[in-house]
Structure 1
């Protein structure tokens, strides 16, 4: 899986990295049990600080998305992604609300917003990144 980061983005690099790994899992480019590069190797490959990679990995570990083993290294959770429980749904709603509110303020209608959501979902399922 090729990870492309936007160093000019307002989104912190560690969040971009976390999001790209999750998207890789969603698009089936990464599967349960697949290894990820070590912190040092990924930082070198991407030309970013090791602490940035470590922060992304720690967030993924906290969310149950990856496991970090001393012998095996970093792997995608062999049991798969955690289920979308009530706390995740609450978080999803909290994150969507401001985006939807701003979209409405900017004159976007429900059908247009849903069309973008559907398009993005299709891109992810096809393994593409059109951002």
Structure 2
């Protein structure tokens, strides 16, 4: 599993970690039932505080992406990923609204914004072998 954090970014480290783990699941790099490193191990590997990893894992567990077992440790949800909920759709609309506004202020056309959005979505679900899931 390859995780690259930008310690200089304005995006909190726990949020970067969440995003990259979800991207790993979407791309197929992380499959249902795959084990993840322990909180302590991942924190050491990334050189970050273990509470940061713990926060990321707990939020992903609450969202239904991960399971935490006493014996198995942390694993990617083996029983299917969470579906689209009203709360998710609202969060998505808020984030897209902000990005669309920033794009418009910078002079990006609706067509270019739509095309970029489509490209990002397709790249998110394309696994390393180039096949779409």
* TM-score range normalised by the length of the shorter chain: over 0.9
| Residue aligning to 1:98 | 98
Question: Aligned-pair distance for 1:91?
Answer: 1.4
Deviation beyond 3 Å, 4+ runs, structure 1: none
Structure 1 residues not aligned, in runs of 5+: none
- Give a deviation string over 1:44-89, Cα, whole Å, max 9, x none: 1111110110011111011111011111100011112100122211
CA RMSD of aligned residues (A): 1.2
Question: Aligned-pair distance for 1:125?
Answer: 2.5
| Residue aligning to 1:20 | 20
Aligned positions, number: 128
| Residue aligning to 1:86 | 86
TM-score, normalised by the number of residues in structure 2: 0.91
SS at 2:75 equivalent: strand
For 2:56 and 2:127, locate their aligned partners in 1 and report how far apart those are by CA, in whole Å.
Answer: 21
Structure 2 residues not aligned, in runs of 5+: 129-133
More displaced 10-residue stretch of structure 1: 24-33 or 81-90: 81-90
| Residue aligning to 1:66 | 66
Question: Aligned-pair distance for 1:127?
Answer: 3.6
